[in-house]
């Protein structure tokens, strides 16, 4: 049974990859959240799921955040922040949204693994998570390490925001949807 | 900056929690996937996102899997497997779906943190991830450890299935949606 | 070929059904939109799709509207308006959300075909669309007339709101998501 | 109150527009459904909602249909049918998916209002619903007539299919998701 080897492998690779991130870059991302009118996030497939998980927590912290493509998302304007998530940095619709966001002069934050990609080039701030390199395809098929790593990355950004804002769990619970 | 403390904390807590799982339980879950007609998965909020991430990979492995509530999901019948995901084991709609699944005699697998909950009681197989206990609410607010732990848990189940089925990344890529 | 018979049948049945609605009821629904803090809407299956179509247009008119279950939906509180859509008035999750909305003292508007149903009983305002009676199952299988009728109903409410608010298409376009 | 004027206007415009459709085109669309391996549908915003409503009913009739972008949608291959829905025929992601579908040699059916548009040009079969011309923006703002007209159009295609296949409501109910 390789289940437990896989637990050790994924958690270790994610830890190592995220540990390499530069504190200045984390700081720049966090600061940008306080300097925008509203935020948008978008990703496709499992990257999109990690994005939505981040959006929920940002909402629990009181941020004005929308998931592109959901029913009530407004248009993007200058002064907005657009967070785009794609491991390859080449997902068609994500690159297209980056181009259109640039045209309306929104600020773009890119989360990817590929520093050299069309999406990375379009980011005002591009954060490359170094988690996929030399991976074992049996323990982490396809983009698994990026997608799981991105979710952990986003949740650590949430804790960083929570700390800086003096927020707490009780106040987040009060902003949590409760009727489903 | 608490970002890196948080990376260490989340990966360590998830590793420790999943390490405690009994191999027999993992084996029973994995075996049940080969003994059903088709599979369904359901969860609300961030548990729902982890569920969808699992469903995508199961589809990449060739399983017949549906997310309850999505457009083309068929009805549940006897012989089907229903995977229900809720940290608290008390989410209204998840408990209701467990009851209705039981009525049509589908097999129920519950993923939760609470062994003593209405949902846990309804599972033919209930797997409690021990990741939330004595957690630090500043580093892991609300259900973060369960939701992130569930995603890692699901991806390790995927590797276990991949290994047993003799599947590989190339064949999974061929089943991956490619037009977005 | 029955295609054109079906066009005539559906448009005629929807027109007749919606014509029977009492102007006072329409007025009460429209007025309630101006007297709430924020709005929520929920429905399952094709009723859910009509609900989302309504939510988009309400957003284009400048209302604060959320679809329950979507990523960034906040909790429901006293002072909020909850619009629930179910042809049968018996859909499990919709009835449950009505009960929970009542508990937090939100105002409930029910759109249904069944005046005598658990959901109808829970509405502060219940609007029964009389479109399904004595229907031809070959030209309108299952809840087709309710679901299509609800979409037309909602779009006529939008025109009523647009008229009363002095809104226009240009201003609505400016609030329309534009990057996809 | 303009509510009832709007009911008359929308139902009349939709009826007139759909009546103009050539029976041969309807027939070609319906026939194509029986000649493909599996079907996909995609649209953005309210066009996407009408698409999902169609997908549900196609599933109730027993067709193998997927909504692009949903969790369990497989890749598109030669032999598949791709239905693309956009009033303007210019929605970015819809045009892109048409191009990529063409590359893998899937058959493309386009539902639009614009015969002269990038999307229309890419259709193996393009059906232009003539419902938006000279519309009153107060009674039908933005793409309302196309979106509502497309839903009615799709439901009339469903009746046409139901009739040709000798299907009935009872068998459709048995394929209807039932646990929510």
Residue of B nearest to A91 (CA): B180
- Mean pLDDT score, A149-153: 98
The b-or-e profile of B84-99 (16+ CB within 10 A means b, else e) is bbbbbbebbbbbbbbe
Among partner residues A59, A101, A178, which is closest to C179 by beta-carbon distance?
A: A101
Chains B & D: contacts with CB separation below 8 Å: 75
Give the residue from chain D lying closest to A100, CA to CA: D92
Q: At what angle do helices D3-19 and C3-19 cross, to 10 degrees?
A: 180
pLDDT higher than 80, residue C112 = yes
A28, pLDDT greater than 80: yes
Q: Which of A180, D47, B88 is nearest to C66 (CA)?
A: A180
Other chains touching A, judged by 3 or more CB pairs under 8 Å:
B, C, D
CA-to-CA dists, residue B105 to B38, B67, B79, B80, C155, angstroms: 13, 18, 7, 8, 42
What residues of C are in contact with residue D27 (Cβ under 8 Å)?
1
Q: How far apart are CA A75 and CA D43, in angstroms?
A: 18
pLDDT score for D179: 79
Residue D110 dihedral angles phi and psi, to the nearest 5°: -110, 130
Residue A8 confidence (pLDDT):
98
User: Which residues of chain D make contact with C144, given a CB cutoff of 8 A?
Assistant: 57, 155, 158
The predicted-structure confidence for B36-54, as pLDDT tens digits, reads as follows: 999 999 999 999 999 999 9
Chain A residues with beta carbon closer than 8 angstroms to that of D100:
92
pLDDT at B180: 72
Measure B57 CA to nearest chain D CA, in Å.
Answer: 9
Residue A178: pLDDT band by 50, 70, 90 thresholds? confident
A180: pLDDT strictly greater than 80: no
Asked whether the predicted pLDDT for residue B178 surpasses 90, the reply is: no
Which pLDDT belongs to residue A179? 79
Determine the distance in angstroms separating the CA of C80 from the nearest CA of chain D, rounded to an integer: 24
- Please say whether the beta carbons of A36 and A79 come within 8 A: yes
Residue C49: predicted pLDDT: 98
Q: Which of B59, B65, B71 sits opposite D67 (nearest CB)?
A: B71
**What is the C-alpha separation between D130 and D138, in angstroms, rounded?**
19
- For position B51, what pLDDT does the model report? 98
- For chain D of 180 residues, list the mean pLDDT of each consecutive stretch of 10: 98 98 98 98 98 98 97 96 98 96 97 98 98 97 98 98 97 89
Q: Where are the domains of chain B?
A: 3-173
**Which residues partner with A40 through β-bridges?**
A66, A82
Element (H, E) at B83: strand B81-85
Neighbours of B102 (CB within 10 A): 15
CA A56 and chain centroid, separation: 12
Is beta strand B81-85 parallel, antiparallel or unpaired with respect to B125-128? unpaired
C114-153 tens-digit pLDDT: 999 999 999 999 999 999 999 999 999 999 999 999 999 9
Rounded to whole angstroms, how far apart are CA atoms A128 and A22?
10
Residue C180 pLDDT grade (very low, low, confident, very high; cuts 50, 70, 90): confident
Residue D107's beta-bridge partner residues?
Answer: D81
Architecture of the domain delimited by C3-173: 3-Layer(aba) Sandwich (3.40)
- pLDDT score recorded for residue A35: 97
Sequence-separated (6 or more) residues with CB below 8 Å from residue B146? B47, B87, B112, B113, B129, B131, B132
């Amino acid at each position: 049974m390789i289940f437990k080897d896989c637990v050790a492998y994924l958690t270790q690779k994610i830890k190592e990859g995220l540990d390499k991130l530069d504190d200045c870059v984390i700081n720049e991302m966090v600061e940008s959240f306080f300097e925008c009118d509203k935020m948008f996030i978008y990703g496709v497939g499992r990257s999109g799921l990690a994005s939505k998980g981040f959006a929920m927590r940002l909402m629990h912290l009181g941020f004005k955040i929308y998931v592109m493509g959901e029913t009530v998302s407004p248009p993007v304007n200058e002064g907005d922040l657009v967070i785009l998530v794609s491991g390859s940095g080449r997902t068609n619709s994500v690159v297209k949204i980056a181009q259109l966001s640039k045209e309306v002069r929104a600020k773009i934050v890119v989360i990817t693994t590929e520093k050299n990609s069309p999406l990375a080039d379009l980011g005002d701030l591009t954060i490359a998570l170094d988690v996929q390199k030399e991976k074992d395809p049996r323990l982490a098929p396809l983009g698994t390490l990026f997608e799981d790593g991105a979710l952990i990355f986003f949740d650590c950004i949430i804790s960083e925001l929570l700390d800086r804002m003096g927020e707490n769990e009780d106040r987040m619970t009060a902003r949590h949807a409760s009727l489903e």
